[in-house]
Amino acid sequence: MNSFELLFLGTGTSTGVPMIGCDCPVCRSKDPRNRRRRSGLYVRAGETCVVIDTPPEFREQALEHDLRQLDALLFTHAHADHVFGLDDIRRFNTIQDGHAIPVYAATETIVELQRIFSYMTKPCQKGLFRPKVSMQPVEAPFRVAPLKAAHAGPDDLEVVPFEVAHGDGRTQGFRLNWRGRSFGYAPDCQSLPAASVSLLHGVNLMILDALRYRPHPTHLNVEESLAVLSRIGAPRALLTHLCHDIDHAQLSAQLPPWVQLSYDGLRVQL
């Protein structure tokens, strides 16, 4: 299988869109592209399937898209809107012959996941189910193979973590390379260090945070995101992690031709 496909499980910020108790035009919009669950990405590279972040809606995202395979989890950071769906991966343990699913993240993120989901490592009464994971702190490039494979090989998906500035705590983005194609993903980002920008040179697609039009202390706004994307120089870009300030059709009409807005359920072939 030569497919390298991305599926946007969610493209919204921490509150989601519509936002609770809000009557703004975007929250009341009939355009399905303005309905945004919390951000997550499903990636299929040949026989390997990975998820980047498990938002609170992960169960319903998996059901909607009939996801049946999960070979690894990548976490950008440990904020609630990116990790609170982790418990739902226990169903993937069951349908994948009880295999533990590797979880890759920065050391600090692993520590937070172990704190938040401390029950996962405690003895489990017979008949109960808890997620089975293998925590893998990562600070350098690594490869992901299908769980059914005996070992990783040169044709497996390569993942390259990079540093991202995003408020308190540590956040990473990921560059994923497979068979000469690549993309970068940084859904929560206030700025990118020069080393991270350099690492992203040459990607076919860059997916980047663009929360809203006004400045924000921990996220890029649309203007800032476009400036960072120009520095990266990818031929195609998608904006994500969008709040209710952004109407899909309105902003789409104003973006340069090489930049588009992502939306829940969008599939992209590389």
The model's pLDDT over 2-13, given as tens digits with 9 standing for 90+, comes to: 899 999 999 999
Say what the pLDDT of residue 68 is.
Answer: 97
Q: Residue 122: which pLDDT band, with cuts at 50, 70 and 90?
A: confident
pLDDT in tens, 74-103: 999 999 999 999 999 999 999 999 899 999
pTM as predicted: 0.96
**Residue-wise over 64-83: b if at least 16 C-beta within 10 A, else e?**
eeebebbbbbbbbbbbebbb
pLDDT at 150: 63
Count of CB atoms within 10 A of residue 10's CB?
31
Q: Count how many residues are written for the chain.
A: 270
The distance from CA 107 to its chain's CA centroid, rounded to whole angstroms, is 18
Domain with residue 20: its CATH number is: 3.60.15.10
Question: What is the total count of domains within the chain?
Answer: 1
Phi, psi of 138 (to 5 degrees): -130, 135
- Give the range of the structural domain holding residue 68, as residue numbers without chain letter: 4-269
> Mean pLDDT over all residues of the chain?
95
pLDDT in tens, 205-259: 999 999 999 999 999 999 999 999 999 999 999 999 999 999 999 999 999 999 9
Q: What three-state secondary structure class fits 10?
A: strand
Please say whether the beta carbons of 12 and 243 come within 8 A.
Answer: yes
Confidence check: pLDDT of 151 > 80: no
- Transcribe 212-252 into DSSP letters: -SS--SSS--HHHHHHHHHHHT-SEEEEESB-TT--HHHHH
| Segment (H or E) for 174 | strand 171-178
Dist. CA 180–CA 66, nearest whole Å = 28
Angstrom distances, CA of residue 215 to CA of 16, 123, 224:
19, 46, 8
Give the confidence band of 152 by pLDDT, cuts at 50, 70, 90.
low
